[in-house]
Amino acid sequence: MWSREVARIRLVLISHIHADHHVGLVGILEARLRLGLTDPLCIVGPPSLEHSLEELRAPLGLLYTYYVNLHLLSAASPRPTARPPAPTVVAQESLRKAMDATGIDRVEAVCVPHCFNAFAYVVRTRGGRSVVFSGDTRPSEDLARAGQGADVLLHEATFEHDMVAEARKKMHSTTVEALEVADRMGATDVVLNHFSQRYPKLPVSASASSRRAVMVAFDLMCLPLDKVGAVAQFLPAIRCVLEEEEEEEESKASAPPKE
């Protein structure tokens, strides 16, 4: 099954260069080589990642094209002081083919407040749908404007709201802040992700006071865009199952050792 899923990937959007957001990329590229795929994978991301990947291209024989996302900035996004050279014809053609293959009409990048060269993405499909991926960020008015009326907002919710001071310090968002961004954006459905290990199961306020369908992301989750609202109805049941599992694990951990 994994080989089928890897072979289906046509386009990868990287938000920033922190390891947890791109460290699996080389593994995907190597897996494509093992599958005998010869069509270069199109990668869109910040300028600095292009240089890192270039160091590995020849030694590992990686097949990819890289499109620097600064050339895709939304009109709502702040502008950096410096811009990279124009994308090559090869990179432009690769992005066009990847968008054609996936039914994407437009990809826009938005500079967000997290680290240097951190970006969110707004993806609009030819069928009229739009998906916004926040990457790692503090709540961003620029992103709320760029993603107005999104069908699905995938927003980081690293901390519970009682840890808002920690979220500000580390340039992340709380669950409540993420849902407030969804309100200002007018997003139809929300998928929260990037949870702190302080609560490895489900954040307590994942859907608190939200006026829309809210789902929580799990590793390896595949979720059709038009099913977010339906799947979100099962969140209370999922929470109950995970709470029971957590109680069982805590009980085992506190039990005295067997003789």
100-121 pLDDT, tens digit per residue, is 999 999 999 999 999 999 999 9
Answer with the residue of higher pLDDT: 78 or 99: 99
CA separation for the pair 190, 120 (Å, rounded):
15
Cα 206 from Cα 191, distance rounded (Å): 9
Task: Give me the pLDDT at residue 206, please.
Answer: 55
Where would I find the H helices in the chain?
A: 2-8, 25-34, 47-60, 89-102, 141-146, 164-170, 175-185, 228-232, 235-254
As given in the structure block, the two tokens for residue 232 are 């979100």
Q: How far apart are CA 31 and CA 33, in angstroms?
A: 5
* E-assigned strand segments in 194-243: 213-216
pTM of the predicted model as reported, rounded to 2 decimal places: 0.88
137-153 average pLDDT score: 98
